[in-house]
Structures are given as structure tokens and as C-alpha cells.
Amino acid sequence: AQERYASIRDLPATTKCGTTISLQMNAGLIADLPSLEGSGAEGVGLFRTELQFLVRNKMPRRAELSALYSRVVKSANGKRVAFRTLDIGSDKVLPYMKPNDEPNPAMGWRAIRVGLDKPGVLRMQLQALLRAADGGPLAVMFPFITQLEEFRAAKAEMDKAIAREKILGHSLPSSLEVGAMLETPSLGFAPDVFFEEVDFISIGGNDLKQFFFAADRENERVRKRYDTLNVSFLSFISQVIDRCNASNTALSFCGEDAGRPVEALCFAALGLRTLSMRPASVGPVKHLLRRVDLGEVKAVMDEAIARGDQSVRRAVADWLVYQV
Ligand code: PEP
Ligand code: MG
């Protein structure tokens, strides 16, 4: 598939109306990094650090983690990597940690909740990331932030890690971005000060959708009933875009939907400027974006919304048939 899009690999995803969308890729293992070159992605918008924890049979040590992250940074060859701290619990269970017996793990003790309640692993990870940056830039984001105080507490862990590195005389990153993943509706309604304090936000659409529609992402039977292009969901995304624009906060979308062509088009038409997806989707999404006028896509969406359609998918897909 990547060969098919090789001719546009080094070209920007600039639409007919002149808007450039940054296409990034999702990764989780060192083995994913060569795709950064191959796909033409501009960076790693989501590096899922739990994969490196999931593939081993005991808790890694800080030196091992730091060596791993350092290889990721080096393989990225100057492109930005947004490292997401450990997101365990829910569908991701570490074989060497005591399993949690809870009835609703997706809404249970997972991700940053574990990181804040038992901060040992989070601290080790932050330290490892600071060292791996080796005096270069670093971007870190916390998973499953649902309210301002959680972000502040997680950020305080980063501040502590930095203070420790300073005392030890280690070099600090040349620039540091600390972000949050928006994966529950609540964060979209956080006070303005959250949007001012956070360096960047990445919408984790896989989780966000399951909580927005109360439909388990692992359960096909209920998941398939709800369309990402549902007008309620788009209206929520739109509000998040507006709030980020108002506070000048960088925003991206890194759930699976970012790599689906019609979805990517609609997100771009709504105002999203950074999309992170699996590497194989970068080519097809870019190909499509380069052929459309986002103003026209937006007009088609607005018409469908005004008509009372439940989803804009049909309208946009029908329109698209005559465009590309
Ligand atoms: C998401 O929830 O959309 C996301 C990107 O994170 P994960 O799929 O790893 O939960
Ligand atoms: Mg998620």
C-alpha cells in the first residue's frame, strides 16, 4: 500500500483550499519506527508505551526503559514523538501485576489513575524519558485525564522528576511539552484554565467514543450502532476545537478514526489540523486530503446537520463520489 502512495510520500497533506494537515503515525514498539520514513508521517503523534511493558514477563528497569526510549528518539531522526505514559488496566493487563478484579475495567482503575495512586512506575517512566531525551526536545502525554486536578497531579510528577534530574546533574530536555489525552467527555468541559495549562491535547477517540455513547469499544454488537460521524459526537469535537483555538492549545486526534478517509476529511473540515494514525493510513488519507476543498466538505456537513441527519456520513460519502 505504501508503494502506491510513494509519489506523494514527501509532499504535504495540503488541500485544494490550501490548508495543510499534519499527518502523524501511531506506534508502540521500536519495530514500528522504520514506518516513519516509509509512510511519510511527520512524527509519532502517539507512542503507546504500554506495549513495551506488555511484551515482557517482568517489570522493566529504569535503565532498560531509558535505553528503549532513547532508541525510539534516535530512530525518529529529529521528528517529534509524543510519548504516552503507561495506560494499563482495562483491555491492557500486565502479566506480572496483580490483576484487578473489577466489574467495569474500562471505567475502572486504569491509566493515569494507577499512575497517580501508585506512582512508582510513572516516576520511573518519566525519569527514563527525561534521560532518553538527552538534552533534546521531549513531548509526554498522560492517558485518560478526566479533570483538571488529575492533569495537575500528573504534571507535578513531571516537575518532581525534573527537579531530581537537576540534582543529579543530568541534562534536561531543550524543550518540554506536557499534554493530556482527552478520552472522556468530562475533559471537554473542563475549566478554561485546563486548556491554558496543558501544552497539547490529543483526542483518544477510541475511548472517547465508548464513553460518549456508553458503548463498549470491545463489544461489536453495541459499538457498531454508533457512528463517529454522528452529529452529537461531531458537535462535541467541534467544541473542543473551539476551546483549543481560544487558548492557542495544540490539538490532535489519535484514535483509529483519524486513519479512516471520510472521518479524516470531516475532522479536517471541522478544524482539526493534526491527525495521528496507523502508518498504512497516512498515504490514503493524504491522497484524499490533497484532492478536496475543506470549505466544500464543511458545507456538505452543515447541510446534513441542518436537515436533521443523524450522521453526516451519507452526505459526505455521496458528495465524495463526484470529487475523486
Ligand atoms: C484512544 O483511546 O483513542 C487511544 C488512542 O488510546 P488507546 O486506543 O490505546 O486506548
Ligand atoms: Mg485510550
What pLDDT does residue 294 have?
A: 98
Closest CA relative to residue 45, chosen from 233, 310, 279: 279
Decide if 267 contacts 202 (C-beta within 8 A): no
For 295, the grid coordinates are: 470549505
- Calculate mean pLDDT across residues 212-229: 96
Cβ(50) to ligand 1 under 6 A?
Answer: no
Query: Greater confidence, 101 or 15?
Result: 15
What is the band of 237 on the pLDDT scale with cuts at 50, 70, 90? very high
Calculate how far, in angstroms, residue 290's C-alpha sits from the geometric centre of ligand 2.
Answer: 29
The string of DSSP codes covering 271-315 is T--EEEE-HHHHHHHHHHHTT--HHHHHHHHHHHHHHT-SBSHHH
Q: Is ligand 1 within 6 A of the CB of residue 28?
A: no
Atom of ligand 1 nearest to the CA of 206: 3
CA distance to 37, 232, 233, 283, 295, per residue, from 266 (Å) = 26, 14, 12, 17, 11
Phi/psi for 179 (5° steps) reads -120, 175
pLDDT of residue 323: 86
Q: Is 183 in the pocket of ligand 1 (CB under 6 A)?
A: yes
CA angle 19, 24, 30 (to 5 degrees): 165
Ligand 1 atom nearest to CA at 46:
5
Within 105-167, residue ranges assigned H as helices are 112-117, 120-133, 148-167
Q: Which residue's CA lies nearest to atom 1 of ligand 1?
A: 204
Letter for the amino acid at 150? E
Residue 44 scores a pLDDT above 80: yes
Centre of ligand 1 from the C-alpha of residue 222, in Å = 18
Measured from the CA of 255, which atom of ligand 1 is nearest?
3
Predicted local distance difference test score (pLDDT) of residue 2:
61
pLDDT confidence band for 1 (50 / 70 / 90): low
Spatial distance between the Cα atoms of 220 and 243, rounded to a whole number of angstroms: 32
Using CA atoms, how far apart are residues 50 and 59, in angstroms rounded to an integer? 11
Handedness of CA 125, 129, 130, 132 (dihedral sign): positive
- Nearest-atom number in ligand 1 for the CA of 254 is 5
pLDDT at 255: 95
Q: Is 89 in the pocket of ligand 1 (CB under 6 A)?
A: no
Burial class (CB in 10 A: 0-12, 13-18, 19+), 96: exposed
pLDDT at 214: 97
Q: Does the beta carbon of 286 sit less than 6 angstroms from any atom of ligand 1?
A: no
Q: How confident is the model at residue 247 (pLDDT cuts 50, 70, 90)?
A: very high
Q: Which pLDDT score, from 0 to 100, does residue 101 have? A: 84
Say which amino acid occupies 191. Answer: P
Q: In this structure, are strands 274-277 and 138-145 parallel, antiparallel, or unpaired? A: unpaired
The rounded distance, in Å, linking the Cα atoms of 279 and 298 is 26
Ligand 1 atom with the shortest distance to the CA of 50? 9
Q: Name the residue at shortest CA distance from atom 9 of ligand 1.
A: 48
For the Cβ of 32 lying below 6 angstroms from any atom of ligand 1, the answer is no
pLDDT, tens digit, 9 for 90 and up, residues 292-313: 999 999 999 999 999 999 999 9
Of the listed ligands, the closest to the CA of 258 is 1
Whether residue 27 has its Cβ less than 6 Å from ligand 1: no
pLDDT (0 to 100) of residue 95 = 83
Q: For 175-186, what is the mean pLDDT?
A: 98
The response to whether residue 48 sits with its C-beta less than 6 Å from ligand 1 reads: yes
Mean pLDDT of the region 9-32: 97
Q: At 99, is the pLDDT very low, low, confident or very high (cuts 50, 70, 90)?
A: confident
**46 within ligand 1 shell (Cβ under 6 A):** yes
pLDDT in tens, 136-172: 999 999 999 999 999 999 999 999 999 999 999 999 9
Q: Is the pLDDT of residue 3 over 80?
A: no
pTM: 0.97
Whether the CB of 217 sits within 6 Å of ligand 1? no
